[in-house]
Amino acid sequence: MRRRSGRVDALAGCSAEGAEATLRATGGVAVALRDPATWQASAPGAAVASEPWIRFALEEPRAGPRRAVRALSELRVLDLTRVVAGPTGTRLLAALGADVLRIDPPGMPELWDHHVDTGFAKRSALADLDDPAALARIRVLLAEADVLFTGYRGAALDRFGLNPAALTRDYPQLVVVTLDAWEDRGPWSHERGFDSIVQAATGIGHLYGRPYESGGWRPGVLPVQALDHATGYGMTAAALALLTRRHTAGGNGWAHLSLARTAQELLALSAPSEIAITLPVPVRDTPSPYGPLRYVPPPLGRDGGPLEYPTPPQQYGSSPLSWTGPEKVVW
């Protein structure tokens, strides 16, 4: 029999919360399964509950150059998000016509299926923020951008001078939308997380638990990554709200969302836990650098017809660090 490792021994006899703390202390991503009431009574649950679903911080109008943007097709969106939630939001902006440039770190490539799914209508570039030349280039892009999406833990971008408060001060035309797992001002603001983990912590996994056929019980999960998709579309709505204010009243701003706060919104809905609904699902086919793709079009219509993605996903990392089209600065 193989000897158990020290890490396994450290977990032996731990409570769920103790195992959660031990695994996180070693850099792991782990949560104890909680029911909704236990989550709401916890310190991180209370911190999440104290926030609105979308938190806005608005700047007053300031004198200076700004781009003349008269249509969604003239928007420039810099996407520093990964996996599902943020890329889903920028994919919708791309479908509406925005020039979306997604930037990933070269040492941490995105999973190819995530890139293919959320890369429609976008361009894809690579840049290492630790490289001073690449960071300087990104700052040039920010000076010409309308929207920035980020999806990192609170303060993760501070060392690059890319925190939202600094960005909205440095770039008066820029609106910033940020995403994290656990909110950015609570006791878990520094912790990593993703959709299924957040479901387990906030009580969704408990609500969807099922008995094993052989006896016992296991936690459950939503049939889709609903927290990711709902939060991503919330980010799009927040960006459009900030852009509308910039256009009508002047002034930029910052919006923040979290997966945990979206989970709380879903848990608060007074709807049956299971509803049998069959909906038609339109599908499209397109050639792409990854071969033939079958996909679902955007969930919106425009001009009396369905909204469509204008282009398939591009080859990962194939785009330059630049915007398309001429620069349009007015005073």
Write down the pLDDT at residue 271.
62
Strand segments (E) across the chain = 55-58, 66-67, 76-80, 99-104, 123-126, 147-150, 175-180, 210-211, 217-218, 253-258, 284-286, 293-295, 301-302, 305-306, 329-330
Topology of domain 34-269+288-320, CATH: Rossmann fold (3.40.50)
3-state DSSP assignment of residue 285: strand
For residue 106, pLDDT over 70 is answered with yes
**What single-letter amino acid sits at 245?**
R
Write down the pLDDT at residue 31.
87
Percent of the chain scoring above 90 in pLDDT: 60
Whether 261 contacts 53, CB under 8 Å: yes
Q: For the chain, which residues make up each domain, given as ranges?
A: 34-269+288-320
Write down the pLDDT at residue 1.
36
Write down the pLDDT at residue 10.
65
> pLDDT tens-digit profile of 237-262?
999 999 999 988 889 999 999 999 99
Structure tokens at 92: 């919708």
Write down the pLDDT at residue 97.
93
Kindly list the distances between the CA atom of residue 138 and the CA atoms of 101, 125, 235, 255, 329, in Å, as whole numbers in the listed order. 11, 11, 21, 21, 18
Q: Which residues of 200-234 are buried (b: 16+ CB within 10 A; e: fewer)?
A: bbbbbbbebeeeeeeeeeeeeebeebbbbbbbbbb
Write down the pLDDT at residue 108.
86
Burial of 330 (0-12, 13-18, 19+ CB in 10 A): exposed
What CA–CA distance (Å, rounded) separates 142 from 231? 23
Whether 77 contacts 146, CB under 8 Å: yes
What CA–CA distance (Å, rounded) separates 271 from 50? 23
What CA–CA distance (Å, rounded) separates 201 from 30? 9
What is the mean pLDDT of the segment spanning 63-69? 65
Helix (H) or strand (E) holding 16: helix 16-25
Write down the pLDDT at residue 280.
85
Q: Model confidence at 328, in pLDDT bands (50, 70, 90)?
A: very low
**What single-letter amino acid sits at 219?**
P
Q: Count CA atoms closer than 13 A to 82's CA, side-chain side.
A: 17
Q: Model confidence at 270, in pLDDT bands (50, 70, 90)?
A: low
Write down the pLDDT at residue 64.
63
3-state DSSP assignment of residue 34: coil
What is the mean pLDDT of the segment spanning 37-42? 94
Helix, strand, coil % over all residues of the chain, rounded to 5 = 35, 15, 50
What CA–CA distance (Å, rounded) separates 226 from 85? 9
Average pLDDT value for the chain: 87
Write down the pLDDT at residue 120.
96
Residue reference for tokens 């943020």: 86
Kindly list the distances between the CA atom of residue 163 and the CA atoms of 57, 282, 314, in Å, as whole numbers in the listed order. 13, 40, 29
What CA–CA distance (Å, rounded) separates 257 from 265? 12
3-state DSSP assignment of residue 202: helix
Closest to 164 measured CA to CA, from 55, 67, 85: 55
Of residues 5 and 39, the one with the higher pLDDT is 39
Structure tokens at 306: 């369905």
Q: Model confidence at 279, in pLDDT bands (50, 70, 90)?
A: confident
Closest to 243 measured CA to CA, from 119, 76, 99: 76
> pLDDT tens-digit profile of 210-240?
887 777 888 888 888 999 999 999 999 999 9
**Rounded to two decimals, what is the model's pTM?**
0.89
Phi, psi values for residue 284, rounded to 5°: -130, 160
Burial of 132 (0-12, 13-18, 19+ CB in 10 A): exposed
Q: Model confidence at 273, in pLDDT bands (50, 70, 90)?
A: low
